[in-house]
């Protein structure tokens, strides 16, 4: 091990762990993929139809994804529409690079527990 090699600092590691954990489910991967490829906000019913999973399950997964700000919720009347948070699309590969010790353009700052890094 190189003498100067050090792990990611603890606050950043904790933040990255929440991101990786949020994506550690096949349905959540499908939802993020769908929203990213769709390019337009979608409501829960549209997401349910596309991923063939029950409404309550999709809603629970959307909550997990929204908690780490991978998806953003936009209330529109009685419905809520979800879209991918583009900041996450740009930031997530950087997090993987940082964890793996590869060069990255910039290391995101850890956020407060209630907000998440992405905005």
Residue 105's SS3 state is coil
The whole-angstrom separation of Cα 38 and Cα 96 is 24
pLDDT at 4: 66
- Of 33, 74, 68, the C-alpha closest to 50 is 33
Average pLDDT over residues 3-22: 85
pLDDT at 83: 97
Average pLDDT over residues 25-34: 94
Structure tokens at 73: 């919720």
pLDDT at 5: 78
pLDDT at 59: 97
The total of other beta-carbon atoms located within 10 Å of residue 78's CB is 6
pLDDT at 13: 87
CA angle 15, 53, 45 (to 5 degrees): 90
Which of 7-16, 29-38, 76-85 is predicted least confidently?
A: 7-16
DSSP-assigned letter for residue 69: T
Query: Which backbone phi and psi does 80 adopt, to 5 degrees?
Result: -120, 135
Q: Is the pLDDT of residue 20 over 80?
A: yes
pLDDT at 84: 94
């Amino acid at each position: 091990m190189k003498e100067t090699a050090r792990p990611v600092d603890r606050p950043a590691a904790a933040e990255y762990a929440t991101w990786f954990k949020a994506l550690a489910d096949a349905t959540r991967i499908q939802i993020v993929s769908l929203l990213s490829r769709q390019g337009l906000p979608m409501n829960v019913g549209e997401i349910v139809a596309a991923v063939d999973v029950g409404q309550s399950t999709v809603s629970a997964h959307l909550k997990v994804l929204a908690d780490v700000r991978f998806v953003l919720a936009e209330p529109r009347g009685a419905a809520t529409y979800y879209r991918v948070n583009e900041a996450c699309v740009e930031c997530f590969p950087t997090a993987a690079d940082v964890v793996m010790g590869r060069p990255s353009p910039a290391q995101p700052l850890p956020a407060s527990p209630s907000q998440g890094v992405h905005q």
